[in-house]
Amino acid sequence: MNSSGLIAMLLVSLPLVTLQARADEVSVAVAANFTAPMQKIAAEFEKDTGHKVAIAFGASGKFYAQIKNGAPFEVLFAADDDTPARLIQENLAVAGSQFTYAIGTLVLWSARPALVDPAGVVLKSGSFDHLAIANPKLAPYGAAAVEVMKSLGVYEASQARIVTGESIAQTYQFIRSGNAQLGFVALSQVLKDGKLEGSAWLVPGKLHSPIRQDAVMLEGGKGKPAAEALLKYLKTDKARTIIKASGYAMS
């Protein structure tokens, strides 16, 4: 091959080499309630930036414990605002990187079409055997569910019927499978193409503390291009549109 041919070959291959050099992978811990929108956002992010996303879904409380024990996550999308703040205080996350990416909506839901009425009166009637909630010590949606039941004065009477999931994802499965007739989950879990499956009561926000879901850069992601790019991407119009369509409010 003559010198001009070699130069031409190098010029053709240069954009690919540059893209590969810039491409990176980010390891993300994501609150279970945010599974569906995060999967969509990750796919768009990878397509738009060339970076890859490795995602673990679970309860925010469990992620907190794992991060304290050295789990190699680089970004956390929590189901609350307290967990990221604690990680910053403990020098496990980057100060100034925390922001609210979504505000969750709690619903009382049943896979049965007519079981849950639009005003949640079923909670007071007690016409159910089991009610599922996420572990309130680990999952903010579970803590909000307890607040709601206490606000309505039905918590004590319902305790014997409560079944607890490790995460909001497991709680959803309890209800979906019929092992619990109804329970408290995130609106995003029961919206399919913008429509509610089964029957549900959208819990008024005044009955519980706001479910502000915050993201934060963990120490392991500081200075890493993919981690920084992903946090910026959450604030784009494309990501915000996906989040809103999934049943979340925005700050």
Per-position DSSP letters for 36-53, written without gaps between them: HHHHHHHHHHHHHH--EE
Q: Is the domain of 38 the same as that of 58?
A: yes
Residue 193: the pLDDT is: 79
The mean pLDDT of 127-143, rounded to a whole number, is 93
The single-letter code of the amino acid at 88 is I
Residue 102 in contact with residue 183, Cβ under 8 Å? no
In a domain, 53, yes or no: yes
The CATH number of the domain where 119 resides is what?
3.40.190.10
pLDDT (tens digit per residue) in 59-90: 899 999 999 999 999 999 999 999 999 999 99
Determine, yes or no, domain membership for 158: yes
How many C-beta neighbours within 10 Å does residue 50 have?
14
In the chain, what percentage of residues exceed pLDDT 90?
82
Q: Are residues 124 and 86 in the same domain?
A: no
Residue 216 and residue 97 share a domain: yes
Q: Which amino acid is at 97?
A: S
Higher pLDDT, 126 or 229: 229
Does 114 lie in the same domain as 98? no
Outline where the chain has alpha helix (H): 3-22, 35-49, 60-68, 82-89, 122-125, 140-152, 155-158, 168-177, 187-190, 225-233, 237-245
Question: What pLDDT does 211 receive?
Answer: 96
Does the pLDDT at position 3 exceed 90?
Answer: no
Q: What CA–CA distance (Å, rounded) separates 69 from 214?
A: 21
Q: H-helix or E-strand containing 162?
A: strand 162-165
**Residues 99 and 29 grouped into a single domain:** yes
Nearest to 97 by CA among 238, 227, 9, 196: 227
Shared domain for 43 and 77, answered yes or no, is: yes
Q: What is the pLDDT of residue 14?
A: 42
Residue 15 has pLDDT above 80, yes or no: no
pLDDT tens for 205-234 read: 999 999 999 999 999 999 999 999 999 999
What type of residue sits at position 216?
V
pLDDT over 80 (residue 10):
no
pLDDT bracket for residue 2 (50, 70, 90) = low
* Residues 87 and 120 grouped into a single domain: no
Range of 126's domain? 106-202
Which region, left, alpha or beta, applies to residue 246 given φ > 0 means left and ψ of -120 to 50 means alpha? Answer: alpha
How much is the pLDDT for 197? Answer: 86
How much is the pLDDT for 20?
Answer: 39
Residue 251 inside a domain? The answer is no
Total domains present in the chain: 2
DSSP track, 165-212: ESSHHHHHHHHHHTSSSEEEEEHHHHEETTEE-SEEEE--GGGS--EE
Residues in Cβ contact with 33 at an 8 Å cutoff, skipping those fewer than 6 apart: 79, 104, 141, 168, 169, 185, 186, 188, 189, 213
Mark whether 66 and 78 lie in a shared domain. Answer: yes
| pLDDT at residue 53 tops 80 | yes
Q: How far apart are the first and last CA of the chain?
A: 60
The DSSP call for residue 129 is: S
Q: How far apart are CA 134 and CA 197, in angstroms?
A: 20
250: in domain? no
- C-alpha 238/C-alpha 155 separation (Å) is 40
